[in-house]
Amino acid sequence: MVRGLFITNFTLEEVTAIQAKAKALLLEGKTIMSWGDSETSVTKQFTLPVDQILEECAHALKVLCPSSFGRDRIATSSRISGFLAK
């Protein structure tokens, strides 16, 4: 679920840079890194999973520049079934 993390105090350029870095790391398979030797083991992971970073960036881009990235689509519907008394 999008929380709007990159909307406040981020510029359009910063959000696109974050998105590009997350995409590059995802394509390189560097979302979780582990290494170890006989005595120690270390695992490094992003604060946010890459899929959430990309989702947050997409949301922020829509808010910061709706003319270029579009707005969120909101679908509404209404339906009445049966008889409504007056």
> Low-confidence residues of the chain, pLDDT below 50?
none
pTM here is: 0.55
The tokens describing 79, both together, are: 């339906």
Q: Which helix (H) or strand (E) holds 71?
A: none
Q: What's residue 75's pLDDT? A: 66
| Cα 4 from Cα 64, distance rounded (Å) | 11
